[in-house]
């Protein structure tokens, strides 16, 4: 998407005249047309549209804080690339990830959350109000900021893995599984994601081999059992993928057994990498305290090292990383932001 396509939208209940904006017209964009450069100012700005960001929006909107939520062009976060979510409370029969996110967004919108679609390209957390640059040219100022930028899939780091991404290499079975009807596939990893992806892929594939670097899975018992019982799934233990083979599309992988040192080639039409996630915190590096893996450190609930900046969801949680814990911390962040503003720390 081009830089000047940032788009602002809100439910009919949003009160624009009550929102402080340094531009006389806080609705600068007409969908599908080029937007004028804009500058906005808000009490609460939320970056991220996964369960953490959207729950923060519901709570902040219901507290009359008129939150602005900045979402990327692929709204909804990681759950939009998953299949059925069986462990989110309230859905006895399970719910599809994209459907759950659609409902969360509608709920946030219902209470007056404004949505701005665009990429945050820079953040300045030094003076308050904080300044965000959107798509390199628009600015948003925030009295309080809730960071809910989540995490992204980790790649193995092979040259041919990158070259063949989109041509057989994928990190999203839900998105790409359909293209592999009757084919043999490889899934890399030993966690819940790998088990879930492999099990889902058996709907299409003739065979799925899970390549795992140890002889023990990290996945939860229920997910392991489901994969182990599936007749289409086999395990390649103590092994790593050393190379992805194929000129224009994937034709196989080269696998090394870490115990015997033996290298073998496994033919396959697709490689699904499911080896975990990395927090999306590059934008804030050097401005906030983070741990060695780049997760934002939070104390006293969701407070970060900068007063007025709060973090929620996977961006600050390397332990639980569940939709429900992300939603819970989104709620906490909104309440923390509200209390911070109530304590008289307004700049607006
Ligand atoms: P995890 O971190 O749990 O697992 C990552 C897996 O990839 C591990 O088995 C790890 O091996 C392996 N791995 C890591 N790096 C490499 C590498 N460079 N090369 C080869 N293998 C590697 O990540 P997940 O994405 O599976 O899960 C994250 C969280 O999300 C978990 O809490 C999980 O429970 C949850 N989740 C829940 C689901 C559900 O309930 N439906 C579905 C998916 C995820 P090793 O074990 O040796 O460290």
For the stretch 137-148, pLDDT in tens is: 999 999 999 999
pLDDT, tens digit, 9 for 90 and up, residues 179-215: 999 999 999 999 999 999 999 999 999 999 999 999 9
From 223, 249, 273, the end of a domain falls on 273
Provide φ and ψ at 254, rounded to 5°: -100, 125
pLDDT category at 18 given cuts 50, 70, 90 is very low
Count Cα neighbours of 40 within 13 Å in the Cβ-side half-sphere. Answer: 31
Structure tokens at 3: 């830089």
Do both 9 and 142 map to the same domain? yes
Ligand 1 centroid, distance to 297 Cα (angstroms): 21
Examine the domain organization and report whether 26 and 104 are in the same domain.
Answer: yes
- 101-115, 207-221, 236-250, 317-331: least confidently modelled range: 317-331
**What's the 21 CA to ligand 1 centre distance in angstroms?**
43
- The string of pLDDT tens digits covering residues 242-287 is 999 999 999 999 999 999 999 999 999 999 999 988 999 999 999 9
Closest to 336 measured CA to CA, from 161, 144, 155: 144
Which atom, in ligand 1's list, is nearest to the CA of 194? 26
The residue segments making up the domain with residue 100 are 3-152+277-342
Last residue of a domain, one of 273, 301, 331: 273
Pocket test of ligand 1: the residue of 191, 214, 279 to mutate, having most ligand atoms within 8 Å of its CB, is 191
- The protein residue whose alpha carbon is closest to atom 3 in ligand 1 is 191
- Residues 23 and 93 grouped into a single domain: yes
Q: How far is the CA of 277 from the centre of ligand 1 (A)?
A: 8
Residue 315 has pLDDT above 80, yes or no: yes
Q: Which residues of 67-86 are buried (b: 16+ CB within 10 A; e: fewer)?
A: bbbbbbeebbbbbbbbbebe
Residue 259 burial by Cβ neighbours in a 10 Å radius (0-12, 13-18, 19+): exposed
The answer, as to whether pTM is greater than 0.85, is: no
Specify whether the CB–CB gap between 33 and 132 falls below 8 A: no
Q: In the chain, which ranges are E strands?
A: 7-10, 39-47, 68-71, 84-85, 95-96, 114-117, 120-124, 130-134, 138-147, 151-153, 169-170, 184-188, 207-211, 233-236, 239-245, 252-257, 263-267, 270-273, 277-279, 309-311
Ligand 1 contact, 156 CB (< 6 A): yes
* pLDDT tops 60 at residue 167: yes
Name the domain count of the chain: 2
**Are the C-beta atoms of 183 and 268 separated by less than 8 Å?**
yes
Residues 164, 38 share a domain: no
Does the structure show a pLDDT above 60 at 5? no
CATH number at residue 262: 3.50.50.60
Do 232 and 245 fall within a single domain?
A: yes
pLDDT at 345: 66
Q: In the chain, how many H helices and how many E strands?
A: 7, 20
**Is the CB of 172 within 6 Å of ligand 1?**
no
Residue 6 is predicted with a pLDDT of 65
Last residue of a domain, which of 256, 273, 290? 273
In this structure, are residues 219 and 226 in contact, taking their beta carbons and an 8 Å threshold?
A: no
User: Is residue 112, in this structure, part of any structural domain at all?
Assistant: yes
The C-alpha atoms of residue 178 and residue 195 are separated, in whole angstroms, by 17
Token pair for 311: 């973090």
Is residue 295 domain-resident? Answer: yes
**Does residue 91 lie in a domain region?**
yes
Residues with catalytic roles: 172, 175-176
Interval between CA 33 and ligand 1 midpoint (Å): 42
With respect to residue 347, please indicate whether it lies within any of the assigned structural domains.
Answer: no
Kindly indicate the confidence band of residue 174, based on its pLDDT and cuts at 50, 70 and 90.
confident
Spatial distance between the Cα atoms of 34 and 140, rounded to a whole number of angstroms: 18
Q: Compute the half-sphere exposure of residue 332: CA atoms within 13 Å on the CB side of its CA.
A: 20
Place of tokens 């893995």: 161
* pLDDT (mean) for 154-169: 94
CA distances 233 to 82, 224, 228, 323, Å, are 19, 11, 7, 27
Same domain, 7 and 122: yes
Yes or no: say if 307 and 46 are a contact pair by the CB < 8 Å rule: no
Kindly state whether residues 31 and 145 are assigned to the same domain. Answer: yes
pLDDT for res 85: 81
Q: What average pLDDT does the chain have?
A: 89
Residue 44, pLDDT score? 98
């Amino acid at each position: 998407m081009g830089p000047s396509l940032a788009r602002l939208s809100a439910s009919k209940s949003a009160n624009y005249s009550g929102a402080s904006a340094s531009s006389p017209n806080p609705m600068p964009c007409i969908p599908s047309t080029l937007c004028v450069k804009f500058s906005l100012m808000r009490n609460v700005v939320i970056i991220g549209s996964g369960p953490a960001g959207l729950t923060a929006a519901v709570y902040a909107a219901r507290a009359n804080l008129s939150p602005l939520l900045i979402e990327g062009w692929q709204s909804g976060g990681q759950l939009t690339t998953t299949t059925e979510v069986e462990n989110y409370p309230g859905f006895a029969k399970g719910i599809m990830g994209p459907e759950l996110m659609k409902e969360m967004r509608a709920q946030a919108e219902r209470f007056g959350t404004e949505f701005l679609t665009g990429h945050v390209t820079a953040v300045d957390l030094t003076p308050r109000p904080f300044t965000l640059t959107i798509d390199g040219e628009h600015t948003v100022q925030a009295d309080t900021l809730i960071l809910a930028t989540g995490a992204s899939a980790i790649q193995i780091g092979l040259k041919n893995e990158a070259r063949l991404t989109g041509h057989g290499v994928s990190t999203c079975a839900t998105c790409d599984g359909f293209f592999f009807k009757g084919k043999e596939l490889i899934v890399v990893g030993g966690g819940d994601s790998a088990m879930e992806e492999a099990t889902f892929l058996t709907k299409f594939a003739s065979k799925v081999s899970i390549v795992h670097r140890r002889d023990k899975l990290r996945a939860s018992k229920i997910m392991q059992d489901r994969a182990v019982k599936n007749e289409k799934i086999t395990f390649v233990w103590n092994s790593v993928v050393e190379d992805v083979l194929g000129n224009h599309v994937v034709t196989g992988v080269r696998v090394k057994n870490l115990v015997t040192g033996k290298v073998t080639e496994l033919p396959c039409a697709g490689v699904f990498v499911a080896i975990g996630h990395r927090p999306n915190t590059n934008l804030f590096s050097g401005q906030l305290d983070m741990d060695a893996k780049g997760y934002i450190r939070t104390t006293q609930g969701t407070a970060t090292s900068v007063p007025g900046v709060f973090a929620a969801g996977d961006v600050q949680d390397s332990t639980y990383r569940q939709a429900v814990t992300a939603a819970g911390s989104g709620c906490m962040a909104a309440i923390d932001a509200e209390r911070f503003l109530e304590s008289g720390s307004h700049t607006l």
